[in-house]
Amino acid sequence: MKFNQIIHSLLETDLYKFSMGQAIFHQASEYETTWTFKCRNKDVQFTPAMVAEIREQIKAYCTLHFTEEELSYLAGIKWLKKSYINHLRLWRPNFADFTIEAGGACGLIIETNGTLLDTSMYEIPTLAIVNEVYYRFRPDYEALVADAKERTRTKADKLRAGTYWLPVFSEFGLRRRLCAEVQEYAIEQFAGLDRSDVLRSYFVGTSNVYLAKKYGVKPVGTMAHEWIMCMGQGNHLYNPAYSNKVALEAWVKEYGVDNGIALTDTITTDCFLRDFDKTLATLFSGVRHDSGDPFTWGDKLIDHYTRLGIDPATKTLLFSDSLDFAKADKIARYFQGKAKIAFGIGTYISNDTYAEPLNIVMKVTKCNGQDVAKISDTPGKGMCKNQEYVDYLQRAIDWRLRHND
């Protein structure tokens, strides 16, 4: 490897990978999936040297295992069960599941094939490796790191000064961080804020489980789109327009009233609301926004809770789509007193520099031999290899919406 190992702990992933991992272990351990990498930046090219380094970094990641200290930390998370912890004690990433090649529109092709139980765990470390390798090859890498740190210091100072009001916020930036050094520096800065100094803004924690453990802050995160896509579309007996119903009921089966922030936009929020009935809306402590206009979305969810006879002020609206502090401040003030408000902020914290950040994703594209797709509230955020399947899914969604089913 040209650089030091980038991922050096299997805790260096987002918390929701463990939350979903346990539910997958108990309910869908036999599901087979394909995941596909995509770079959305039009002007980014990965060189053969970058591809070679990414391959070696992923190979190094695949030598890791959980230590007993790490497993003990995970066992302290109240909803993780001993059976799953014992599975993790034996679990290893498998380099044979990866295909890493030069080629494609951006010069880099990555796919993983294997059980959902395995491949789900690869997404976040892979993206973190790709991101850091890309920036380390830039001649101005050190200047980017210095710029990111200076901007982080400025953000912390503005919170202390009360420039922004973020009632509860956490850091969600592992997958697109500039590098591990910058993300850790940000956690240091925000974890060190005195709540009394920042006029009711409160940094609760990070999705990065490794850094949450290291800095004694809360690990945060519940579910991602893959859970709804695979549980609702991977079983070929289900109508995919009912993906949310299948996935949310499976989540309740696993966790009851614990660990309950539901993701709304996998097959559009309007379709989600068809299945988010009074029982589910009561059991889940809140919902997460990840695409579409946040104000329209929040109003829609508040109206939905109200129609169900649930006081929206008892529920959390978690916003996580392309946020900065100014945008989060506007959202918080708009919804003040209407619901509990929280923010998960990614790239703006972990990769804010004078350079345009990479917009990279790795999404599940097949489950059990069948295409799966995400149709979000923002055009262009979906990803599927088969347009015919996307059209079929859209027709199924449209039918439900037209017939109020």
SS3 breakdown of the chain: % helix, strand, coil, rounded to 5?
50, 15, 35
The pLDDT of residue 304 is 98
The pLDDT of residue 344 is 97
C-alpha separations of 299 from 255, 281, 305, 312 in Å: 28, 16, 10, 10
Q: What is the mean pLDDT of residues 294-316?
A: 98
CATH 3.20.140.10-classified regions of the chain: 15-139+358-371, 143-350
Q: What is the mean pLDDT of residues 349-374?
A: 96
pLDDT at 222 over 90: no
| Percentage of the chain lying above the pLDDT 90 cut | 90
Q: What is the mean pLDDT of residues 138-144?
A: 98
pLDDT at 228 over 90: yes
Instruction: Please tell us whether the domain made up of 15-139+358-371 is placed in CATH 3.20.20.140.
Output: no
Residue 162 or residue 9, greater confidence: 9
Of the pLDDT bands very low, low, confident and very high (cuts 50, 70, 90), residue 192 is: confident
pLDDT at 131 over 90: yes
The pLDDT of residue 259 is 74
C-alpha separations of 117 from 24, 74, 113, 174, 356 in Å: 6, 17, 11, 20, 33
The pLDDT of residue 110 is 98
The pLDDT of residue 198 is 47
* CB neighbour burial string for 390-401, b if at least 16 within 10 angstroms, e if fewer: beebbebbeebe
pLDDT at 175 over 50: yes
Which of these ranges, 184-198, 241-255, 257-271, has the smallest mean pLDDT? 184-198
Report the mean per-residue pLDDT for the chain.
95
Q: What is the mean pLDDT of residues 180-193?
A: 94
- Quote the pTM value: 0.96
The pLDDT of residue 241 is 96
How many angstroms separate the CA atoms of 268 and 266, rounded? 6
Q: What is the mean pLDDT of residues 331-346?
A: 97
C-alpha separations of 27 from 21, 23, 151, 235, 246 in Å: 10, 6, 44, 12, 12
Q: What is the mean pLDDT of residues 45-69?
A: 98
* CB neighbour burial string for 282-308, b if at least 16 within 10 angstroms, e if fewer: bbbbbbbbbbbebeebbebbbebbeee
Edge to edge, what strands does the sheet with 203-206 contain? 218-219, 203-206, 169-171, 340-345, 316-319, 286-289, 261-263
Of the pLDDT bands very low, low, confident and very high (cuts 50, 70, 90), residue 196 is: low
Architecture label for domain 143-350: Alpha-Beta Barrel (3.20)
| Percentage of the chain lying above the pLDDT 70 cut | 98
Of the pLDDT bands very low, low, confident and very high (cuts 50, 70, 90), residue 358 is: very high
